[in-house]
Amino acid sequence: MQSPWGEIEVADAHVHFFSHGFFSALAAQKSSASETAESVAGTLGWHAPPVADEALAAAWVEELDRCGVARASLIASIPGDERSVAAAVSCYPDRFYGYFMVNPTAPDAAQRVAKGLGEGSLRCVCLFPAIHRFSISDERVRALLDLALSHNALVFVHCGVLTVGVRAKLGLPSQFDMRYSNPIDLHAVALAFPKLRFVIPHFGAGYFREALMLCDLCPNVYLDTSSSNGWTRYQPEPIDLKQVFRRALDVAGPRRLLFGTDSSYFPRGWHSAIFEAQSKALGEIGVSAADARRILGGNVMELLGG
C-alpha cells in the first residue's frame, strides 16, 4: 500500500470474522425461535454472511486486495466458532492469521484450545475477562496459557471498556463485569509466563496508563492500536491519536505496537478510515519509515512468523 513512507506492507492485527456460525449463535440467543443468521444480519443492516466460511474468507481476500492490505488477523468472535476462522486460514494461509475467542469458564475450554492450536491454523487465543466474568489469574486460565505457550501462540486479553454494538442493536443483554478488565491484573500472569506474548487491544481501551505500566514492566506485552479509540474521551486531559502514539512509543517502543482496525462486517468491509487516521498521526509525529513498517504490519508478521 502507498503511504507517507512509500510502499508499505500492511497487516491488520484485528479483524472480526463474523461468520454464519457467529450470526446463528446470536440468533439462538434471541427469544424468538424464528430468528436466523439472515434475519439477524438484516436487523443490523449488514450483508448476511455466506453459509460457507470459505466464501466469507474469499470476500475478505477480495476486500483486502481492493484496499492493498497484505494480511489480516481474523478473530472468531464467539466461543465455539473457531472452525470458521480455521477454514479461512486453511484456504488462504498467506493472507490470514487465525485468532479465536475462548471462554475459560466453559468445561470444554482446554479441549478447544488444545484442538484449535494443535491443528496449526489458529495462532492466538482471545480472552475477554469482562464478558465471561473471570479473572485472568484464575487457575482455569493458567491451563489455557500453558497450552498457548506449548504452541508458541499469542494470547489476546481484552481490557478496559467493552461494548459489543451488535448485542445492543439486537436487544441482547450484555451482563459484563468491568472489575475483571484492568491490565494490572495481567501483570503477575505476564511475569509468570515470560515466553508467552500477550496482546492488549485498543491501547487498553481506557486503561491507557495501566497498559503502559504493564508494557514497561513486561517486555512480553504488546498493544494493538485498533478501533476509533473512543476511550481517549476518558482521559483526565483530552488526548489525541498523536499523543497516544507518542506515549506508547515512548514506553513500549516501535516493536510492540500492532496496527489494527477492528473491521468486522460487510458492506463496510475493511475500515480504511482507521488506517488513514493512524498513519497520518504516525506521520505527523515523525516516526521513521522503518518504525512505521513495523507498526503497520511488520510486528504482527514477525510475531506470527511471516
Question: Which residues are at the interface with Zn ion (CB under 5 A)?
Answer: 262
DSSP line for 223-284: EE--S--GGGGGSSS---HHHHHHHHHHHH-TTSEE----B--TTT-S-HHHHHHHHHHHHH
Q: In what order do the strands lie in the sheet with 122-127?
A: 11-17, 71-76, 96-101, 122-127, 154-157, 197-200, 221-224, 257-258
Interacting residues of 292 by C-beta distance below 8 A, sequence separation 6+? 3, 4, 5, 8, 279, 282, 283
- Nearer residue to Zn ion within complex by CB, 166 or 248: 166
Of 85 and 287, the one with the shorter C-beta distance to Zn ion is: 85
Q: How far is the CB of 279 from Zn ion (least distance, A)?
A: 19
Nearer to Zn ion, 53 or 262 (CB): 262
Report in angstroms how near the CB of residue 162 gets to Zn ion at its nearest.
Answer: 9
Nearer to Zn ion, 199 or 303 (CB): 199
Query: Shortest approach of Zn ion to residue 164 CB, angstroms?
Result: 9
- Of 180 and 193, nearer to Zn ion (C-beta) is 180
Task: Pick between residue 127 and residue 287 the one whose CB is nearest to Zn ion.
Answer: 127
Place of cell 481492493: 66
Q: How far is the CB of 31 from Zn ion (least distance, A)?
A: 26
Would you say 75 or 287 has its CB closer to Zn ion?
A: 75
Closer residue to Zn ion (CB): 63 or 262: 262
- Strand, coil or helix: what is 6? strand
Q: Which residues contact 20 (CB under 8 A, 6 or more apart)?
A: 37, 49, 50, 51, 52, 53, 56, 84
Backbone torsions φ then ψ of 98, nearest 5 degrees: -100, 125
Please give the Cα distance from 199 to 218 (Å, whole number): 12
Residue 56 Cβ, how far from Zn ion at the closest point, in Å? 17
The 10 Å Cβ neighbour count of residue 131 is 21
Choose among 131, 125, 130, 122: nearest CA to 87: 122
Smallest gap from residue 202 Cβ to Zn ion (A):
8
* Residue 89 Cβ vs Zn ion, minimum distance, rounded to whole Å: 18
Question: Closer to Zn ion at the Cβ: 71 or 246?
Answer: 71
CA-to-CA distance for 53 and 121, rounded, in angstroms?
14
Q: How far is the CB of 16 from Zn ion (least distance, A)?
A: 6
CB neighbours of 228 closer than 8 A, spacing ≥ 6?
Answer: 262, 274, 277
Residues facing residue 99 across a β-bridge: 75, 124
N residues, the chain: 306
CA angle in degrees (0–180, nearest 5) for 162-163-167: 140
Rounded to the nearest whole angstrom, what is the least distance from the CB of residue 21 to Zn ion in the complex? 17
